[in-house]
């Protein structure tokens, strides 16, 4: 990409990069929202709970595939380019969505139905683990230095937009078609929509130019995308990255699922859903202003402030949650506000501590591993705590993960930007 691309091309590149988060969020939340409807079609059982457990087990496999996606697509982005990795990520997500939407049920094709569902979620898990580091690396390499947090806030905006659209589509479809039709075939509509959106995005990304940073500093290096180098030479940066994403991993892996599940038991039907829709809509409005604020006061100050604020409001709102709309909005919104703040500044903080030749892999590996572990353990821990009147311990664990990111943020600020050597190992190619 040229140093000063036309504004129209630049806007198109930014849009094609961040919209992937919309589709990821739309598909991932859609699976959780509609799982109770299609569970019996893929895992038939006399016990509805058994069928639902089968579907959520497949969801868990998708979560566990995220670290693999972070490694594979992160390494691919460093070795082949940011653009090819972005195209591969959206291809896997779109293919998985279409496969779920089109696969016949167990009654038609027997055990092949859950197998295909499993394969689809594995593909989406790999995509989910690799999309964000590839997109983050691309976006931060084309973003102006003084607007990196603002550009990072676009990830939060599209993530919120995806969740908002999925929940709103679910509410509209249920009202229009009715529960019986939704359980029969209506649940397929969101997956088909997500798949078609993915194909459109694939065409947009096929027209992207590669970043200048990759062309100038990375393409000719023999050590690009080296997992061994990331885990040895840059192990301090990996540890910092793990601590930086611990808070977002703990909150992101629990709040969007645990709070609605608990709130749904406390509130009248539909109240929790509208609390989610309202909180997400409000954050869509505030995303870019939060990014602009981070660029003005500094990413470190915003992240520290968001961590302290959530530690107070998240604890209070969760432990005092009732079935009222206001209480549910406060509880769910406290987590959403924190996630919006963190995801606005993490792209800048993470990409700055890794050198260009290992940037996508360095960002992708710790982010995917931390998110997968906390995302897999968090909901189970919350359920266990609720059953044993130990909600305080669950909240304390989440807050502890959030507070870990504060010293990591301060250390990251003091970590000098890694320099890319002037020559690659062949000694022939000038890269800086």
pLDDT value of residue 422? 41
Residues 93-114 pLDDT 10s: 999 999 999 999 888 888 898 8
Q: What is the pTM of this model?
A: 0.84
Q: How far lies 315's CA from each of 310, 312, 337, in Å?
A: 7, 5, 14
Distance CA 33, CA 24 (A): 14
Residues 318-328 pLDDT 10s: 999 998 999 99
pLDDT value of residue 432? 31
pLDDT value of residue 430? 31
Distance CA 167, CA 191 (A): 13
Q: Considering only CA atoms, which of 30, 159, 28, 21 is closest in space to residue 90?
A: 21
Residue 39 Cα to chain centre, angstroms: 24
DSSP secondary structure of 244-289:
HHHHHHHHHTTHHHHHHHHHHHHS-TTHHHHHHHHHHHHHHHHHHH
Distance CA 384, CA 159 (A): 29
pLDDT value of residue 88? 96
Give, for all 432 residues of the chain, the pLDDT tens digit: 444 556 777 888 899 999 988 998 888 777 777 777 777 788 776 656 566 667 667 767 777 888 899 999 999 999 999 999 999 999 999 999 999 999 998 888 888 988 898 899 899 989 988 998 999 999 999 999 899 999 999 988 998 888 888 878 887 888 888 888 888 899 899 999 999 999 999 999 999 999 999 999 998 888 898 888 888 888 888 999 999 999 988 898 788 778 887 887 788 867 887 888 888 888 888 999 999 999 999 998 999 999 999 999 999 999 999 989 999 999 999 999 999 999 899 999 999 999 999 999 999 988 888 877 887 777 778 777 877 888 889 899 999 999 988 888 877 766 655 554 443 333 333 333
pLDDT value of residue 164? 83
371 contact partners, CB below 8 Å, separation of at least 6: 66, 129, 245, 248, 249, 252, 253
Q: pLDDT averaged over the chain?
A: 85
Residues 328-384 pLDDT 10s: 999 999 999 999 999 899 999 999 999 999 999 999 988 888 877 887 777 778 777
184 contact partners, CB below 8 Å, separation of at least 6: none
Q: Considering only CA atoms, which of 122, 196, 166, 197 is closest in space to residue 28?
A: 166
Distance CA 44, CA 141 (A): 48
Dihedral over alpha carbons 416, 420, 421, 423 (to 10 degrees): -170
């Amino acid at each position: 990409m040229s140093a000063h691309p036309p504004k129209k091309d630049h806007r198109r590149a930014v849009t094609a990069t961040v919209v992937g988060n919309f589709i990821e969020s739309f598909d991932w939340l859609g699976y959780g929202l509609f799982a109770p409807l299609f569970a019996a079609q893929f895992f038939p059982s006399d016990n509805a709970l058994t069928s639902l457990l089968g579907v959520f087990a497949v969801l868990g496999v998708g979560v566990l595939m995220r670290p693999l996606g972070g490694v594979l697509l992160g390494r691919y982005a460093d070795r082949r380019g940011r653009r090819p990795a972005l195209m591969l990520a959206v291809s896997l997500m779109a293919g998985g969505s279409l496969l779920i939407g089109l696969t016949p049920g167990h009654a038609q094709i027997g055990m092949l139905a859950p197998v295909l569902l499993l394969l689809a979620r594995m593909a989406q898990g790999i995509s989910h683990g690799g999309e964000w580091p590839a997109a983050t690396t691309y976006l931060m390499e084309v973003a102006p230095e003084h607007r990196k947090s603002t550009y990072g806030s676009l990830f939060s905006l599209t993530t919120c937009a995806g969740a908002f659209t999925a929940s709103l589509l679910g509410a509209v479809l249920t009202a229009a078609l009715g529960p019986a039709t939704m359980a029969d075939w209506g649940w397929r509509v969101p997956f088909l929509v997500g798949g078609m959106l993915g194909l459109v995005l694939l065409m947009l990304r096929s027209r992207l130019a590669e970043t200048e940073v990759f062309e100038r500093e990375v393409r000719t290096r023999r050590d690009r995308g080296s997992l061994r180098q990331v885990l040895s030479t840059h192990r301090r940066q990996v540890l910092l990255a793990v601590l930086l994403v611990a808070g977002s991993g703990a909150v992101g892996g629990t709040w969007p699922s645990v709070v609605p599940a608990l709130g749904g038991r406390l509130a009248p039907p539909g109240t929790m859903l509208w609390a989610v829709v309202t909180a997400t809509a409000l954050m869509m409005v505030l995303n870019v202003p939060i990014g602009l604020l981070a660029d003005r006061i500094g990413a470190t100050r915003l992240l520290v402030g968001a961590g302290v604020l959530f530690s107070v409001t998240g604890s209070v709102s969760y432990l005092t949650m009732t079935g009222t709309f206001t209480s549910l909005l406060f509880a769910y919104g406290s987590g959403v506000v924190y996630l919006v703040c963190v995801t606005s500044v993490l792209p800048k903080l993470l990409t700055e501590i890794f050198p260009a030749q290992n940037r996508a892999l360095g960002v992708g590996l710790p982010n995917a591993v931390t998110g997968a572990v906390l995302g897999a353990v968090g909901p189970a821990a919350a359920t266990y705590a609720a059953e044993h009147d130990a909600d305080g311990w669950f909240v304390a664990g989440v807050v502890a993960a959030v507070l870990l990111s504060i010293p990591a943020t301060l250390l990251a600020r003091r970590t000098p930007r890694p320099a890319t050597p002037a020559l690659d190992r062949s000694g022939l190619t000038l890269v800086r």
